[in-house]
């Protein structure tokens, strides 16, 4: 390997005397003494979350307040630390407009002690039903508390806009008889 000789400038007199350098340093620290804080007082002040942030995984509903997850279990299979556990079930009888979806999760648990926030579940989801959102702080007093059940996941997720309304289109297509 080629050797690069770095030329070092000899120290000037003021640098060797050391004292002017110290005074310059003290001037800088004095400036910092009066400059505003760079920290946040955390629980009262929250940091701005950048877009695309991967926080706690949550389940979302569509703008009509309907469940989006169809219990396909792709996220369960893709989850590297096996944090997701889904029990598939039928669509509840009180949702006649979703009867053609066939399946819905009877139970949906995400163990936040296992989750590594990789976002693969969000990426794999064909229904855009699971999202890693802005919440970054999870705490609990027991292992059980750290498992997010279905109702908690929906509470955390809320509603997100939907561009497709995939199952509405399917139903409309079915009704007009142009099955593919």
Partner 1 sequence: MIALWSNLHPALQMLLKGLAVILVIFPIAGASSLAERKVSAWIQGRPGPNRAIPIWFAWVPVIGPMLQKLGVFHLMSDGVKMLFKEDALPGHVNKPYFILAPILAMIPAFTTVTVVPFGAYLDAAGRTIPLMLANVDVGILAVFAVGSLGVYSLIIAGWASNSKYPFLGGVRASAQLISYELSMTLSVLPVFLWVNAPGTAGSLSLARVVEFQSQPGFWGGTWFIFLMPVSAFVFLVSLYAETNRQPFDMAECDADLVGGFHTEYGAFKWSLFFVAEYSHMVVGSAVFTLLFLGGWNPLPWVPLSDVAVWLHLADAPILLGLLSIAIFLGKVLCSIFVFMWVRWTIPRFRYDQVMKLGWQRLLPLAIANLIVYALIIAWLQPKN
| Residue nearer to partner 1 on the CB measure, 8 or 32 | 32
CB of residue 21 vs partner 1: minimum separation in angstroms? Answer: 9
DSSP string, 135-179: ------SSTGGGEE-HHHHHHHH-B---S--HHHHHHHHHHTT--
Binding-site ranges for partner 1 (CB under 8 A):
22, 25-26, 28-30, 32-39, 41
Per the CB < 8 A criterion, the answer to whether 79 and 120 are in contact is yes
Distance from C-alpha of 108 to C-alpha of 152, rounded to nearest angstrom: 10
CB of residue 20 vs partner 1: minimum separation in angstroms? Answer: 13
CB of residue 44 vs partner 1: minimum separation in angstroms? Answer: 11
| Residue nearer to partner 1 on the CB measure, 34 or 141 | 34
CB of residue 147 vs partner 1: minimum separation in angstroms? Answer: 32
Per the CB < 8 A criterion, the answer to whether 67 and 104 are in contact is yes
Rounded to the nearest 5°, which phi and psi values hold at 37?
Answer: -65, 150
| Residue nearer to partner 1 on the CB measure, 7 or 41 | 41
| Residue nearer to partner 1 on the CB measure, 7 or 34 | 34
């Amino acid at each position: 390997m080629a050797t690069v000789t770095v030329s070092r400038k000899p120290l000037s007199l003021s640098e060797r005397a050391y004292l002017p350098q110290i005074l310059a340093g003290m001037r800088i620290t004095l400036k910092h003494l009066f400059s505003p804080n760079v920290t946040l007082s955390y629980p009262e002040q929250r940091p701005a979350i950048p877009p695309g942030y991967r926080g706690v995984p949550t389940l979302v509903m569509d703008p009509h307040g309907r469940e989006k997850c169809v219990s396909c279990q792709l996220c369960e299979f893709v989850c590297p630390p096996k944090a997701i556990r889904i029990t598939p079930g039928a669509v509840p009888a009180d949702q006649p407009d979703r009867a053609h979806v066939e399946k819905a999760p009877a139970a949906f648990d995400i163990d936040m002690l296992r989750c590594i926030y990789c976002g693969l579940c969000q990426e794999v989801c064909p229904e855009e039903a699971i999202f890693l959102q802005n919440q970054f702080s999870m705490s609990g007093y027991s292992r059980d508390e750290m498992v997010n059940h279905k109702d908690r996941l929906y509470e955390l997720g809320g509603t997100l806009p939907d561009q497709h309304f995939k199952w509405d289109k399917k139903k409309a297509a079915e009704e007009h008889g142009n099955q593919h």
